[in-house]
Amino acid sequence: MKYKKIIGTLILAFSFNTLTPLFSTKAQAKTDPPNIVGQYAITIDADTGEVIYSKNGDAKSYPASTTKLLTALLLAENKNKEDILKFTESALKQPDYALYRSFGPIPLGTTMSADDVMKSLMLFSGNDIAYLIADNVAGDTSKFSDMMNAKLKEWGLNNSHFVNPNGLHHDNHYTTPFELAVITKKAYENPWVKETMAQSKATVNTSLNKPINLENRNKNVGTDGCVAGKTGYTSPAGRSLAAVYERDGRTIIGVVMKSAYDVQDTQVFKDMKNIIDYSYAAE
């Protein structure tokens, strides 16, 4: 594994506690590791940095909409909840899983509060919302991608590179389970992002004054200790899930990538439960 190569950088960047070595040891479990469908996965103790479970944890893969964890963090770092954001031309060009396609036309220039934008990004996973954020925060998508990659570099994540804010497929848009776990932790550390990811439902509004009811696409949230997370899917990426769990005072971050998108959309959530249960049973 390559975890040790970035320990020095991570110690400075994350201040996970003073425990060492960071992200370099694996816990001993009472049972054999679970056999999951996802091709790539990892679990990490958020407080000690201990890698508990890993399946191709260093391998590069496509993150799909889990990309939006970083998009959300950049929104939270650059805007306030009450700020007003406008729908842009690039936002309204986005394909399915867009707010305007699912809930009716949204004219160019329609506005939303930043807080409703955050909810629309984290719960509904709006592809248009991600571009709205990019344009309102950075001026355009290219500049926002530069901000994303600067943040990754700041954190020492050298096996990740993002070219857009929503994770729609691009060959040069990738990360690893390990580095996605780090991104998840950093997003979860932000109070605004954290409280939003924990919501199972929300109602948002636009300047059109037509309330929109949203449900969290993370089916595990609010159950079995799952306090936050973000789903993702594209055909090349498969089904992905990044999640944060809290049980008995212990926080574990789990990532599953390239799992199956079955008819009932349950497999990636089963994969996550299996590796999380295994990780909490580890000594």
Q: Which residue blocks in 24-98 are alpha helix, DSSP H?
A: 68-78
Instruction: Find the distance separating the first CA and the last CA of the chain, reported in whole Å.
Output: 21
CA dihedral (148, 154, 159, 164) in degrees, to 10, reads 0
Return the residue matching tokens 């700020």: 83
Round to whole Å and give the CA distance between 189 and 197: 12
- pLDDT tens digit sequence for 219-257: 999 999 999 999 999 999 999 999 999 999 999 999 999
Q: Which residue blocks in 62-221 are alpha helix, DSSP H?
A: 68-78, 99-103, 114-119, 127-138, 141-154, 177-188, 191-197
**Residue 31: predicted pLDDT:** 77
**Residue 28: predicted pLDDT:** 55
**Residue 283: predicted pLDDT:** 67
- pLDDT tens digit sequence for 24-79: 445 555 678 999 999 999 999 999 999 999 999 999 999 999 999 999 999 999 99
**Angle between the N-to-C axes of helices 177-188 and 7-14, in degrees from 0 to 180, rounded to the nearest 10:** 10
37 Cβ contact list (under 8 Å, min separation 6): 259, 260, 267, 268, 270, 271
Residue 64 vs residues 147, 166, 242, 249, 255: alpha-carbon distances, Å: 18, 7, 11, 31, 13
Return the residue matching tokens 């370099």: 24
Q: What is the pTM of this model?
A: 0.90
Domains of the chain: 3-281 (3.40.710.10)
Cβ neighbours around 190 below 10 Å, total:
18
**Helical (H) or strand (E) element with 270:** helix 267-281
